[in-house]
Amino acid sequence: MTNVLAVLGGILLIGSVAHWVFTAIPSRRLARPDSSPSSRRHDTEGATEAMRSGDSVIGRSMGRTSMALSSTVELNKTDPKLVRFRANPTAALLLAWLIATFASPDFARARTLDRTFGEDGKITSDLTSNLDAAFQPDGRIEAAGLAAAKRGGFGVARYNANGTRGTTFRQDGRMTTDFTWNKHAAMGSRGTVSTPTPIPVKTSPLDEFTPTADRGWFSWAQNSRAHPRHYDVFASKTSGTKIKINARGTEGAGGGIDGNLLVYYQYKGRRAGDVLKFNFRTRQRSRFPNRVNTRYDEFHPTISGKWLLFTRYIDKTRTTKVFLYNTATRALRSLGADSGRSRYVYSGQVNGDYAAWARVSPAGLDVFRYHIPTRSNVRIPRPVFAQYEPVVSSGGTMYFIRSGQACGDLVELVRYPVGGPASVLYDFPDGVDSGFMYADERSDGSLHLFYPERDCLRERWNIYKVVDSYVLDVSKDGTGTGTVASDQTGISCGDDCSETYHGGVNVTLTATPDTGSEFKGWSDPTCGTDLSCAVIIDADESMTATFDVAS
């Protein structure tokens, strides 16, 4: 049998899935959205869609809602605004967009303007383009975009619910950074701001991709100057000497690590490859049983506890299947399958009770989350044509790539927790795409997301990571005593009042007053005096619980 690299030209392991699909299926290509600020809109999941002049949709990318206005309006692409409209006589609708100046001076054709907001119903921001906004529970607005005062710089501004500048936030309600092109910022539920920063991991002149990591070990695939089309698998611990994993005379690609065990893909020439395991402690390779390795090609394995996730390619029928193998019982589950031209499925990552996988078809690229205990597949909502390269945390949070119609076109790294919504963690530079990723959860509670960056012009690969984790600090105040505990493992304050959580996690804090004391409230006014307070972890957060002596 033939290995999948020979058949697909390395697309599944070292190429961009989206780029291959769009190249192979020109009839399914979509018109590239204009990237100018006034020609993009965001749906309810925060996804970017094309926006034509004359559309009346106004929304946001980091808040919790988006809205469509029924009237047609004209847009001016040079003057970003923040605008609040009244949707009906009984409720005020808060919306933000890079919108602009409407043709009608009083905005009558869009909706009745709430002239109590800002200056005559509008705010002219000094964020010049790529404007995004988020709405806090207390009515404040966080706006993010390119800052006019700092050429090419990224800026964040805060406005109060009435449209005035939030002067308690940094420099007169404004903050600028040295980031030049990543316009996304995470707005925590308390109004804090965080922008994940890519960290170089493997950036040598060689090609490096398929990263995987666990408990200090890191593994990747790499070519050499002498043999640029030959790829070997390597591993190292911390800054130690690298170990070559695949056997002499073979090639390989990375997979997954669990403790001292690495699973990887090994093949020779055009022959079908197999899933192998490498023990870091004994430095020995070994094979899986025949239920895993057959005469067909098995590749891209990951492992978590007793579960092995991998893909099988049957060249005679052009069929791909994603399997989950129980190493304890030797039972084999099929998560998905497809066959035919321009159709296939492939494995992502197994982690705890969840597995991630993906499907490619002429209709689009989809990612799925599989819950092992209930044997249920969930397709993640896809607001664009291409979502690919999925991985998953042990809590079920999905990470994947979302892009436009070609390599390096509007590429975003997206997080999707159980129940949503989607959040864009990182905007790749133009002309840069990505490939197979890996989510590494560490003992300190942090999550390190490893991914390769592909230079679409030079066809070069390097490995980076972002850390999607934040610290929740709890303190107590007042004349009385009590404790605060979290529903997620970590905080029992008491003694343990600080914990690191993955981004997107919803942590509920519960205050319990001691005998003779009463709970007076939280520092977050939206929680008031309720004993429980929910915190969405999108940035470092601080919460204070006040207990007073009972009167």
Answer yes or no: do 151 and 213 share one domain.
no
Neighbouring-strand partners of residue 324? 309, 333
Q: What local confidence, expressed as pLDDT, does residue 69 receive?
A: 27
Structure tokens at 429: 């530079």
Q: How far, in Å, CA of 440 to CA of 218, rounded?
A: 10
Answer yes or no: do 485 and 538 share one domain.
yes
3-class state of residue 531 by DSSP: coil
Look at residue 191 and tell me if it is in a domain.
no
Q: What local confidence, expressed as pLDDT, does residue 168 receive?
A: 67
Q: For position 358, which CATH number holds? A: 2.130.10.150
Neighbouring-strand partners of residue 91? 88
Q: How far, in Å, CA of 93 to CA of 449, rounded?
A: 37
Looking at 183, 211, 228, the residue that finishes a domain is 183
Answer yes or no: do 386 and 447 share one domain.
yes
Look at residue 29 and tell me if it is in a domain.
no
Answer yes or no: do 222 and 341 share one domain.
yes
Look at residue 532 and tell me if it is in a domain.
yes
Look at residue 147 and tell me if it is in a domain.
yes
For the chain, the domain total comes to: 3
Answer yes or no: do 375 and 413 share one domain.
yes
Distance from the Cα of residue 349 to its chain's centroid: 14
Q: How far, in Å, CA of 30 to CA of 404, rounded?
A: 8
Q: What local confidence, expressed as pLDDT, does residue 176 receive?
A: 54
Q: How far, in Å, CA of 101 to CA of 348, rounded?
A: 45
Q: How far, in Å, CA of 244 to CA of 231, rounded?
A: 11
Mean pLDDT by 10 residues, the chain (551 residues): 51 38 28 28 34 28 27 34 42 34 35 66 59 62 57 61 71 54 50 73 94 96 93 90 95 95 94 94 95 95 98 94 97 96 94 97 95 97 94 96 90 93 91 95 93 93 95 95 93 94 92 96 92 92 95 82
First to last CA, the chain: 81
Q: How far, in Å, CA of 372 to CA of 227, rounded?
A: 41
Answer yes or no: do 487 and 435 share one domain.
no
Spatial strand order in the sheet of 91-94? 91-94, 81-88, 122-124
Q: How far, in Å, CA of 297 to CA of 290, rounded?
A: 12
Distance from the Cα of residue 182 to its chain's centroid: 14
Look at residue 28 and tell me if it is in a domain.
no
Query: Is the omega angle on the peptide bond into residue 10 within 30 degrees of 0, that is, cis?
Result: no
Secondary element (H or E) of residue 2: none
Residues 64-76 as b/e (b if ≥16 CB within 10 A, e otherwise) read eebeebeeebebe
Look at residue 289 and tell me if it is in a domain.
yes
Answer yes or no: do 256 and 275 share one domain.
yes
Answer yes or no: do 135 and 245 share one domain.
no
Answer yes or no: do 254 and 395 share one domain.
yes
Answer yes or no: do 242 and 266 share one domain.
yes
Q: Which domain holds residue 528?
A: 470-549
Look at residue 40 and tell me if it is in a domain.
no
Look at residue 32 and tell me if it is in a domain.
no
Q: What is the CA radius of gyration of the chain?
A: 25
Structure tokens at 390: 């999925």
Can you give 146-182 as a three-state secondary structure string? Answer: EECCCCCEEEEEEECCCCCECCCCCECCEEEECCCCC
Q: How far, in Å, CA of 12 to CA of 95, rounded?
A: 41
Q: Which of the 8 DSSP states describes residue 372?
A: T
Looking at 467, 497, 521, the residue that finishes a domain is 467
Main-chain dihedrals φ then ψ at residue 403, nearest 5 degrees: -150, 175
The phi-psi region of residue 528 (left if phi > 0; otherwise alpha if psi is between -120 and 50; otherwise beta) is: left
Answer yes or no: do 243 and 357 share one domain.
yes
Structure tokens at 358: 């993906």
Q: Which of 269, 202, 263 is nearest to 231 (CA)?
A: 269
Q: For position 486, which CATH number holds? A: 2.60.40
Answer yes or no: do 416 and 484 share one domain.
no
Looking at 183, 218, 251, the residue that finishes a domain is 183
Q: What local confidence, expressed as pLDDT, does residue 273 receive?
A: 93
Neighbouring-strand partners of residue 357? 347, 368
Which residues in 59-182 belong to E strands, given as ranges? Answer: 67-68, 81-88, 91-94, 122-124, 127-135, 141-147, 153-159, 174-177
- Work out the burial of residue 108: count CB atoms within 10 Å of its CB; fewer than 13 is exposed, 13-18 middle, 19 or more buried: exposed
